[in-house]
A and B are shown apart, each in its own frame.
Chain A
Amino acid sequence: MTSWRQPSVLPGFGLTFGFTVFFLSGIVLLPLASLILMATSMHWREFLAVILDPRAIGSYRLSFGASLLAATINLIFGFIIAWTLVRYEFPGRKIIDALIDMPFALPTAVSGIALTTVFAQNGWIGRYLEPLGIKVAYTWIGVTVALTLIGMPFVVRSVQPALAEVQRDLEDAAETLGAGRFYVFRRIILPTVLPALLTGFTLAFARAVGEYGSVIFISGNLPMKTEITPLLIVIHLEEFDYKGAAALGFVMLVISFVMLLTINLLQAWGRKRLVATGH
């Protein structure tokens, strides 16, 4: 024990470590364990029947597919928003900056209702998309829009400080060395903010997978088409099928864990490669 201790300005390693263990176990690990326990208490045939149900498989595809798509959209547009906020001084910048956090504060059901109003066939935007043959509300597009909305702050808030740290001098130096704008962006700015960008992507993705409130309003919840896994779990619960719900929850847990781990490993590998070769 003592050999792990590092001299620190804050005393009380024992106390803080105790708290860490307590919170992690009590709030994260224990509920997860009970979930796994409940799922494993099922007969495996019964378990497979629940998780391989075509309706369940359809919901995985929508949940993870839409979340990945939404996180990718956020990656691109979140970066652009962060860039605008960090690099330019314009009237109303502070207001826009504050607006970024709105999806955090809003009850998700409210965002869902608001989005549905706007994108429904007779909504402000929906009515113009309708003649073009694009239906947003009650389709997978609507789900993606909702997930994009709630994930956007994660990317913006992770990238902002990293971008602010890219010194203007670096860009100036590259420019005097003859590099064009795109070259500077690709070789100087992007490598510097990439770790933050990936973190934002991961957070937005994780949040989207677990999202429930906003999606159920805009998705229409058509089985096999616009039904997300968290909703399917709620349906199982409403039928008092706790085991079925736990089984689906277990699957979500595994897939999410694998995907997040992959992203994190990729990131670690990328950082190492960056340090090793300088690219």
Chain B
Amino acid sequence: MSITLDQVTKRYQGAPVVNDVSIDIGDGEFFVLLGPSGSGKSTLLRAVAGLTAVDHGRISLHGRDVTHVSARKRGVGLVFQNYALFKHMSVADNIEFALRVRRMSAAKRRERRRELLRLVALEGMDERLPTQLSGGQQQRVAVARALAHKPEVLLLDEPFGALDAKIREELRRTIRQVQRELGITTVLVTHDQEEAFALADRIGVMNLGRLLELGRPDELYTRPTTRFVATFLGAANLLLARQTRDGLRFGAADSLPGESTPGAREHEVVAVIRPEEVELAASQAGLSSDYLGSGTVDEVAFTGALEAIRIRLSDGAAESLLARTPNGEGAALLEVTRTQHEQRAFSIVPGQSVAIGVRRIHVLPTPLSSFTAYAHTEAAAAELSRHALLQELATRMKTRVSVRVLEAHATISGAAVIAANPDSVAQIEWLLRHGAEEVLILPAVASAPQRVLIHWADESARSATLAVAASLLRHVAAEGIYVGILPNSTPDGQRPQGMRALLDARSEAQAVHGLEMRTELRFGDVADALARRLAESPDQILILGISQIAGIAERFHALLGSQPRWPVLVVYRPADNPP
């Protein structure tokens, strides 16, 4: 491995900007770190370069642990967005800088400089000053300068950010060529998914300091596992669907054969439909793919090679399409792109009715598909649905918050939400008995969590609890902490077993969900210990996994009995029916 990052964490004023990131980058690989601004990708790159010290974790370059090695001794080449050329030096002196520092002879320096200038196609520019060059040329000089001392690793921090589209593409090609020619391990940081696709052997997508997903560009595009990656890499329509034994059902529409998960009981899922996987025809009979529903064309825009269309669904799947805001303000429109070929076969105009078919649906393997606020009256439920924390979670998870009245019978979809009240336990019980798998209890005042505490009281709820925790942690900038609890009566001889359970939980979280979490060991009664842990600071949320509904009031009296004071997300999976 050329670059190994192991649980790298960087905090800034207490808040993690890089949160437990582990990556292995192979020799000669072109790796792209992709993410929106503020996702921690540049900080991570600076940590690899040695310009930023990490608070936790290890960084190795070619097997050498460099976590505490200074930038000047790491042997990396770094290219900045604003070029960072030494303006008072000529191109030649800029490129030879690293060689001069190493006291290389003038003749050797000149030879190396020639070689580098040829590599970046800037022959004969030796005596120019940076200010006499165009932006693209300056960045080429910066690349040559970063390669002068034959670094083992080349790091590029948004290198095309300041350039216009045409130059950008040209420079992109040069960099790819240089990288191939030298076979140098390269890490590039960008927020531009097109750039990432064009350059990367592998992409790591970051958000809120976490590495969400890692994989080949085509893998990440066709089979994303998170909502964030699905919508950040290219355009995506997100729909809520019910996964049934026959396939996927969108709203009132008939079931479509989807990627089925055999053995699973019926539950709500989030489906991704890429705009190019939608087929349009005049009638259902004219479709060659599975029928999703019908709709009216709202908008048609010509964008060159492709035609961008937005369609208002009129039946079937209409209510399953997720709008951009969790309140459902503004009707959700299905985004469709069509090639010239498709346009010629069936041309459409705004206002026209069309039949919609889907060629390919990808189901995200994430729990917490949507939220439903429950209360005894519609008004109270509506008020709960506007809870700040709930709205924030829903916005970040790009999902919706629906409103339902408690004890009115309906199928329960997604995570149920109730307001903390003296009667919480009874309500939780009712919801769980009526099909809810997750219940979130919200006190009136709850801020965005800094720490997510994780505990499962029953072993069979373990993997579901971890999946829910992983899903939540991808959407909030918080630390995950698994709280292991041993009874006070545990004899000393058995304590190592408790430790082993902690480590097992941690490695499972990492292996199965790509989730890094800390672990803590507490002693005492489960509910008491958790309540005490929650009382330590206000900005925490507890994810509690259980697989028995009976006796919940007695078992968790300290946590849920009287009016709960902290946000608690109960994850229920019955023991006999593994998810």
Is the beta-carbon distance between A178 and B86 smaller than 8 angstroms? no
Asked if residues A167 and B102 are in contact (CB atoms below 8 Å), the reply is: no
User: Can you name the residue of chain B whose Cβ is closest to the Cβ of A167?
Assistant: B84
Tell me if A80 is interfacial: C-beta within 8 Å of chain B: no
Proximity bits, A156-198, B CB within 8 Å = 1, else 0? 0000000000010110111111111001000110011000000
Contact of B51 with A178 in the complex, beta carbons under 8 Å: no
CB within 8 Å for A192 and B82 given contacts A177-B97, A177-B148, A177-B149? no
Say which residue of A167, A169, A176, A274 sits within 8 Å of B72 (CB atoms).
Answer: A176
- Decide yes or no whether B129 CB sits under 8 A from chain A: yes
Check B159 for interface membership: any CB of A closer than 8 A.
no
Whether B88 contacts A175 by the Cβ 8 Å rule is: no
Q: Contacts A169-B82, A169-B84, A278-B90 given: A176-B77 contact, CB under 8 Å?
A: yes
Shortest CB distance A182–B (Å): 11
Q: Could you tell me the distance in whole angstroms from the C-beta of A186 to the nearest C-beta in chain B? A: 11
* A277 sits at the interface (CB 8 A): yes
Is B252 an interface position by the 8 A CB rule?
no
Give every chain A residue within 8 A of B89 (Cβ-Cβ). 278-279
A274 to B88, CA, bound (A): 6
- Chain A residue nearest to B73 in the complex (CB): A178
Instruction: Return chain A residues, CB-CB under 8 Å to B559.
Output: none
| A176 lies within 8 A of B88 (CB) | no
| CB <8 Å contact, A178 and B88 | no
- Check if A179 sits within 8 Å of B93, measured CB to CB: no
Is B136 interfacial (CB 8 A cutoff)? no
Q: Which of A222-279 contact B (CB under 8 A)?
A: 274-275, 277-279
What does DSSP make chain A's interface, helix, strand, loop or mixed? helix
Q: Are A277 and B72 neighbours in the complex by a CB distance under 8 Å? A: no
Query: How far in angstroms is the closest Cβ of chain B from A173?
Result: 4
Chain B residues with Cβ below 8 Å from A278 are 88-90, 92-93, 129
Is B49 located at the chain interface by the 8 A CB criterion?
A: yes
Q: In the complex, are the beta carbons of A175 and B90 less than 8 A apart?
A: no
Candidates A176, A188, A274; contact of B71 at CB < 8 Å? A176
Which chain A residues border B148 with CB–CB below 8 Å?
A: 177
Q: Which of A172, A173, A188 counts the most chain B CB atoms within 10 A?
A: A173
B 450-481 binary contact with A (CB < 8 Å = 1; else 0): 00000000000000000000000000000000
Distance between Cα atoms of A183 and B74 in the complex (Å): 17
Question: How distant is A122 from chain B, measured CB to nearest CB, in Å?
Answer: 51
Contact of A176 among B49, B86, B102 (CB under 8 A): B49
B-side interface residues, number (CB < 8 Å): 32
A-B contact count (CB 8 A): 78
Residues from chain A with a CB closer than 8 A to the CB of B82 are: 167, 169
Docked pose: A277 CA to B51 CA in angstroms = 30
Say how far A218's CB is from chain B's closest CB, in angstroms.
41
Checking A169, A176, A275 against B76 with a beta-carbon cut-off of 8 angstroms, the contacting residue is A176
Least Cβ–Cβ distance between A59 and chain B, in angstroms: 41
Cβ B88 vs Cβ A179 within 8 A: no
Task: Please tell me which one of the listed residues B72, B93, B129, B142 contacts residue A175 in the complex, with CB atoms under 8 A apart.
Answer: B72
CB distance from B28 to the nearest CB of A (A): 20
Determine how close the nearest CB of chain A comes to the CB of B186; give it in whole angstroms: 15
How many Å from the CB of A192 to the closest CB on chain B? 7
Given that A180-B72, A278-B129 are known contacts, is A173 also in contact with B90, CB under 8 Å in the complex? no
Structural contact, B149 and A170, CB atoms closer than 8 A? no
Say whether A176 contacts B78, CB under 8 Å.
yes
The residue among A176, A192, A277 with the most chain B CB atoms within 10 A of its own CB is A176
Q: Which of chain B's residues 1-55 have a Cβ closer than 8 Å to chain A?
A: 46, 49-51
A183 surroundings in chain B (CB, below 8 A) = 101
CB contacts under 8 Å to B, within A19-60, are none
Most buried by A among B73, B82, B84: B84
Within 8 A of A (CB), among B243-297: none
Report the minimal beta-carbon distance from A230 to chain B, rounded to whole angstroms.
39
- Is A179 touching B86 in the complex (CB atoms < 8 A)? no
The answer to whether A172 and B78 touch (CB under 8 A), given A183-B101, A278-B88, is yes
Contacting residues, chain B, for A274 (C-beta < 8 A): 88
Min CB distance, A276 to chain B, in Å?
9
Q: B101 and A176: CB pair below 8 A?
A: no
Which residues of B sit under 8 angstroms from A173, Cβ to Cβ? 78, 80, 84, 86, 142, 145
Interface assignment of B233: CB less than 8 Å from any CB of chain A: no
Q: List 15 A-B contacts (CB under 8 A).
A: A169-B84, A172-B49, A172-B51, A172-B80, A173-B84, A174-B97, A175-B71, A176-B49, A176-B146, A177-B97, A178-B72, A178-B98, A178-B102, A187-B86, A275-B88
Residues of B in contact with A (beta carbons under 8 Å apart): 46, 49-51, 70-74, 76-78, 80, 82, 84, 86-90, 92-93, 97-98, 101-102, 129, 142, 145-146, 148-149
Question: Which 4 A-B residue pairings sit nearest by Cβ, starting from the closest?
Answer: A177-B98, A169-B84, A278-B90, A278-B89
- Given A167-B82, A177-B146, A278-B93; 10 other pairs, CB 8 A cutoff: A172-B51, A172-B71, A173-B86, A173-B142, A178-B101, A178-B102, A180-B101, A187-B86, A192-B88, A278-B88
